[in-house]
Structure 1
Amino acid sequence: MGYGEKRGDWYRGRYWIAPGVLRTVEDADGNTIRFTTKREAAKAANDLEAEVRKGTWKDTKAEKETFGSYVNRWYEAQDLAASTMQNYKRHIEEHLLPEFEDKAVADIQRTDIDTWEKKEKPLYAASSVKTWRGTLHLILSDAVDEGLRDSNPATKRRGRGKRAGRSRNRAPEKVVTDALGILLIAERASLLSGRDDEFVATVLKGYTGLRWGEIVGLEPKFARPEKVRVEWQLYELDSGELHHCPPKDDSYRDIDVPEWLSSLYLGHIARTKPKPCACHGRAHVFSGYGVANDSARRSGVKLVDVARHAGVSTGTVSNVLNRPDAVAEATRAKVESAIAELGYVRGASVGETAAHWRRNGYATWLFQPAATGWYPKKAPYEPHPVPLSADSWPGVPVRGRNASGRAEACWLPIARGLTPHGLRHTHKTVLEELGTPPKLMDERMGHEDGSVQARYTHITKGMRKRLMDGLTEQWEESLAARLALSPRSRVPTLDALLSVRR
């Protein structure tokens, strides 16, 4: 039997078309009819229910717009940051369309969404499923505003149909490290790359909490004495394009840095003299690691050219670069002379170096091996320890043919499970440990606190100085601990720092 349902200051008619399936009384255009009294709404609903029983009722919703059609024009109407548009597109194409594409927007029920969510949860992280449901909620909210349906079925009802307790929201805690961990990981990453960029960048990230895109997009003019200005980021899209855009949530900010840290990155800039990249026309503090696309076909001195010029094998040249003590002095001198004459640059021997780091490449081949001592699984290779020669601590990565067979040692893990973003969590943890006021923490991290307490709290010079002193003390302690492990380092920048302490 039909009935009237109150909706604010009006009523809508509701009637049954099948067991468990309710419909709303609508006009010819599919819009809900708003009745002034409950009696009128119930009468209209009963009339339509009578048509259902007679078999003369027509399902007008069968001709309504499908989710697939609506979401396409919804997406086209958005004008958001490239990163947000990319995320929406991924959510829609990979998770929402496979389930809802052919359903009419007006027919999607809460139970349909809950069933879809149950299917997704065993396959993906709970936080990811929550994000996709949030996107669906946003889309259907706009559909409600357009009058395509009366309510949003993706709205979460607290405590309904869910197991009680907090365990369902549990997720693995983010791995963090300490000051010595930052230093050791930075040294290992630099040994893996064969240059200082990774050492300086890892230390800078660990002591400022810069986001990945912010450190990749850092320009020399914003790396200032005792301060780093966050003005831009390079955000990597799924297409591989690095998009030059404002920092996340427009979190423009100045980050105070201790004198020793500004000396570290300013010295790096002076040594490397960054040049504008071809893709953005801007100079950046840190350059990429690895070769640019198609660079193998470009001209340049290669390892084999050095071997031919010196009259030795490529294996001997590799030993001179990686294990010089294993090569006879006369042979080593001959190879080094060939390297100097030909202008061979290690790391660029197979082509032009890429202008910027790639998130996946950096994490896979530099950061994760440095933090865990293992290269991760990457087809066709299985996980395996970083092969090392043991001629100097902490070891030098062995490269080339049969590297594992020639290895004498491997690294122990420093922080198993740590990611580059984990250094941002590490920095926030250090700020808490040093008793940093919340207002100053939010400023450094690029977070915003809209509470009344935040409005009445202000940052003073004394707060900044105490934080810089605390970070400097941690750095000095980590250097002292590293010096106790070994007085020298194969990383030139770190070796210079250790020599001062010696």
Structure 2
Amino acid sequence: MAYAEKVYKVRNGRQTKQYTWRARYKEPDGTWGSEPGFPTKKLAKDWGDQQEAAIREGRWVDPELSRTKFGSFVTEWMEAQKPRGRTTMNRWERLETHILPKWRDTPLIALNWFDVEAWARVLALTVARSTVRDCVQLMSRIVNGAVDKRYLTVNPLAGRRLTGLPADIAVKKADEDQVAEPETVLQLARRLGPVYGLHVVTVAWTGVRWEELAGLHRRNALLERKQKHDGGTFTCPIIRVDKDEGALAEYTVRTDEGKRRAYRGLEPPKNAKSARDVDVPPFLAELLEKHLADWPHDFVFTTKTGKWWWRSYWFEVLRPAADGRDERKPGRGRPACPEWKPLASGLTTRDLRHTHDSWQEQIGVAPVLGYEQMGHKYPGIKGTYRHPTPSMRKQRLRGLQRLYERAMRNLGWESIWESAPPNIS
């Protein structure tokens, strides 16, 4: 049975006549808990009765736990998560750069939507809206963890929507800057040469993610799809994104000593739908077959020495080919390089993936097949009832082949690469 007791104030080491009331209540383990600071006996006793009622109903939260600092609980929550390594790195980046400087010392019980939304509006003045939303969503997930761990009874951030954000400071690319013409992709591939240029062509004509292509082992390249169709068998070459080791991961990990080190290795792809077989059009299958016949390394798309790409290194290779470069005279151990005019300034591998999905729409690919090939989940109940058929696959492959053939005719080329590949160093 809860009760209240007087707590006399002490000044200069001596008890005064002033006092407040402290609530006393039985905790689940039978010990007596307490909460000081009530102005009246009734308020203290009522509060204690409420705690005992919550304990009997199984919804009690220890007031001490609810006062845990947000930063302290973040460490506990992050240690309990097991996402992909890059996801962990991205979360820590959001936490350390934006969230913890503001909220590290805030008790969990003091978090409220009014303050979080006001902070988000200020943050949006310096970073992109997508970053602001990521930060607030991450905070909400962490506070959900606090509710699940019985540190809080409710999450004050759950289900709330950010409003009144200022104009986004991030500059969004125009549509034409995110979708390349087939002729442009082939010109870019010619500049890069048959080793690196094939990487660009494969992304544009398959939509495979950068990390999936960088982690593609030759045992998963040019496998064969077989399906019953029209009284016979439909077959086509495929690239397989392996469900266990289908993506090259590159991120920063934290050691037990609190230090950071770079990690690069194979991991499962982004999600369950990302593990898939991607149909390859005939011209690309022929190019890949020739490439693999001469390629001495286990992984299909690597540096010329067979090492996995660093994203930053691939960026250095792609940028001058897409953005252009000045003529370079020969120097110490460095050959001359001709001038390159810009082909597609700012183009990224992600833009090539946008390009592929836009091409799918252009050639009329059935949505359920388009989603599958991109590694996306088809939305709604139709994602359960609709499935790609061989006829859909044949139509898609014919459309992609025609894009290539028309671009080659427009360029007046018989092959993408000339006999002597250009120097890209």
Pairwise TM-score range, normalised by the shorter structure:
0.7 to 0.9
> Is 1:70–2:69 an aligned residue pair?
no
Q: Equivalent residues in 2 for 1:256-271 (5 A)? A: 256-271=279-294
Give the aligned partner of residue 228 of structure 1.
239
Q: Give the Cα–Cα distance (whole angstroms) in 2 for the partners of residues 101 and 464 of structure 1.
A: 52
The match for 1:370 is 321
Tell me the residue number matched to 1:52: none
Distance 2:295 2:310 in 1: 20
Cross-structure match for 1:359: 311
In structure 2, distance between residues paired with 1:29 and 1:169: 52
Partner of 1:470: 399
Paired amino acid for 1:287: T
CA distance in 2, matches of 1:236, 1:471: 31
1:63–1:432 Cα change, 3 Å: closer
1:185 aligned to 2:188? yes
Q: Deviations over 1:397-440 (max 9, x none)?
A: 75536999x87x63332222221111100000000000000011
Does the 8 Å contact 1:176/1:415 carry over to 2? no
Structure 1 counterpart SS, 2:309? coil
Q: Is the contact made by 2:126 and 2:169 (CA closer than 8 Å) also made in structure 1?
A: no
* Residue 82 (structure 1) aligned to one of 81, 85, 99: 85
Q: Is the contact made by 1:209 and 1:423 (CA closer than 8 Å) also made in structure 2?
A: yes
1:247 aligned partner: 269
How does the TM-score come out when normalised to structure 1? 0.62
Letter in 2 for 1:145: D
Amino acid at match of 2:251: L
Deviation at 1:361, TM superposition (A): 1.4
1:284 corresponds to: 299
Structure-to-structure mapping, 1:120-135, within 5 angstroms: 120-135=123-138
Check 1:413–1:171 CA distance in 2 against 1; reply closer, same or farther (3 A cut): same
User: Could you say what secondary structure the match of 1:227 adopts?
Assistant: strand
Distance change >3 Å, CA 94–CA 201, structure 1 → 2: same
Q: Distance in 1 between matches of 2:110 and 2:25?
A: 17
What amino acid does structure 2 have at the position aligned with 1:240?
A
> Judging changes above 3 Å, is the alpha-carbon distance between structure 1 residues 398 and 170 closer, same or farther for their aligned structure 2 residues?
closer
Cα drift, residue 145 of structure 1: 2.3
Q: Give runs of aligned pairs for residues 165-204 of structure 1, distance below 5 A.
A: 171-173=172-174, 175-190=178-193, 196-204=194-202
Q: Is the alpha carbon distance of 1:475 and 1:488 closer, same or farther for their aligned partners in structure 2, counting shifts above 3 Å?
A: closer
SS of equivalent residue, structure 1 residue 416: coil
Q: For residue 364 of structure 2, what is the aligned residue in structure 1?
A: 435
Change (3 A) 1:400 1:483: farther
Task: State the Cα RMSD in Å.
Answer: 3.4
Aligned partner of 2:164 in structure 1 is 162
> CA, structure 1 residues 436+27, in 2 after alignment: closer, same or farther (shift >3 Å)?
farther
Return the structure number with greater strand share: 2
Cα contact 2:239–2:278 (8 A) shared by 1: yes
Residues 19-30 of structure 1 mapped to structure 2, 5 A cutoff: none
- Tell me how far apart the structure 1 counterparts of residues 301 and 416 of structure 2 sit (CA, whole Å): 25
Partner Cα distance (1:26, 1:224) in 2: 72
Q: Secondary structure at the match of 1:248?
A: coil
Name the SS for the 1:122 alignment partner: coil
CA shift for structure 1 position 64: 2.5
Per-residue CA deviation, residues 106-137 of structure 1 (Å, 9 max, x unaligned), is 11222321232123212221112211211111
Q: Structure 1 pair 135/491, CA: closer, same or farther in 2 (3 Å)?
A: farther
Relative to structure 1, is the Cα distance of residues 475 and 107 closer, same or farther in structure 2, using a 3 angstrom cutoff? same
Which of these residues, 293, 307, 331, is aligned with residue 400 of structure 1? 331
* Higher relative helix content: 1
CA distance in 1 between counterparts of 2:289 and 2:420 reads: 15
Residues 68-118 of structure 1 show CA distances to partners (whole Å, capped at 9, x for unaligned) of: 111111111222322222222222222221111111111122232123212
Q: Distance in 2 between matches of 1:273 and 1:480?
A: 32
Question: Structure 2 vs 1, CA of residues 469 and 258 (structure 1 numbering), >3 Å: closer, same or farther?
Answer: same
How far, CA to CA, are the matches of 2:333 and 2:299 in structure 1? 36
Q: How many residues align?
A: 345
Among residues 412, 418, 424, which one is paired with 1:483 in the alignment? 412
Counterpart of 1:259, as a letter, is: P
* Shift in Å, 1:261: 0.7
SS in 2 for 1:421: helix
CA contact (8 A) 2:248 2:265 kept: yes
User: In 2, distance between residues paired with 1:266 and 1:93?
Assistant: 46
Are 2:217 and 1:219 equivalent residues in the alignment? yes
Tell me how far apart the structure 2 counterparts of residues 197 and 399 of structure 1 sit (CA, whole Å). Answer: 23
Among the aligned pairs, what percent are the same residue?
Answer: 29
User: How far 1:362 sits from its partner (Å)?
Assistant: 0.7
Q: What is the one-letter code of the residue matched to 2:220?
A: F
Specify which of 397, 411, 421 is matched with residue 340 of structure 2. 411
Q: Is the 8 A contact 1:387 1:403 kept in 2?
A: no
Give structure 2 stretches of 5+ with no counterpart.
Answer: 1-22, 29-41, 48-62, 224-236, 253-260
